[in-house]
Amino acid sequence: MLDLKWLRNNLYNAADRLASRGFALGVERFKVLEEQRKSVQVHTEALQAQRNACSKYIGQAKQRGEDIASLMVDVERIGSELSNSKVKLEKIHSELHSILLGIPNIPHESAPIGKDKDGNVEVRRWGIPKSFDFEIRDHVAIGKLTGDLDCETAAKMSGARFALLRGPIARMHRALAQFMINLHTNEHGYEEAYTPYLVNASALLGTSQLPKFKDDLFKISRDGASDLYLIPTAEVSLTNIVAHEILDIRLLPIKFVTHSPCFRSEAGASGRDTHGMMRQHQFDKVEIVQVVEPSTSMQALEDLTVNAERVLQLLNLPYRVLALCTGDMGFSALKTYDLEVWIPSQDKYREVSSCSNCGDFQARRMHARFRNPESGKLELVYTINGSGLAVGRTLVAVLENYQQADGSIRVPEVLKPYMAGVEVIG
Q: Could you list the active site residues?
A: 264, 279, 351, 354, 393
d(CA 81, CA 73): 12
Query: Residue 21 phi/psi, 5° resolution?
Result: -95, -5
As a whole number of angstroms, the distance between CA 280 and CA 167 comes to 20
CA-CA distance, 424 to 417, in Å (whole number)? 13
Do the annotations mark residue 353 as ligand-binding? Answer: yes
User: Is 354 part of any known ligand binding site?
Assistant: yes
Q: Binding residue per annotation — 387? A: yes
Q: Are 54 and 78 in contact (CB under 8 A)?
A: yes
Q: How far apart are CA 377 and CA 294, in angstroms?
A: 14
Query: DSSP letter string over 377-422?
Result: -EEE-EEEEEEEEEHHHHHHHHHHHTB-TTS-EEPPGGGGGGGTT-
Q: How far apart are CA 315 and CA 395, in angstroms?
A: 11
297 within 8 A of 384, measured Cβ to Cβ: yes
- Around Cβ 41, how many Cβ atoms within 10 Å? 15
What CA dihedral angle connects 291, 385, 10 and 371, to 10 degrees? 0
Is 266 annotated as belonging to a binding site? yes
For residue 185, say whether it is annotated as part of any ligand binding site: no
Provide the residue count of the chain: 426
Say if residue 192 carries a ligand binding annotation: no
Is 233 among the annotated ligand-binding positions?
A: yes
Is 131 marked within a binding site? Answer: no
* 152 assigned to a ligand binding site: no
- The answer to whether 332 is annotated as binding is no
Distance CA 54, CA 72 (A): 9
Q: Return d(Cα 357, Cα 333) in angstroms, integer.
A: 6
The answer to the question of whether 379 is labelled as a binding residue is: no
> How far apart are the C-alpha atoms of 381 and 369, rounded to whole Å?
5
Residue 360: how many CA atoms within 13 Å on its side-chain side?
A: 16
Annotated binding site for ATP: 264-266, 351-354
Task: List residues forming the annotated binding site for L-serine.
Answer: 233-235, 287, 387
Binding residues: 233-235, 264-266, 287, 351-354, 387
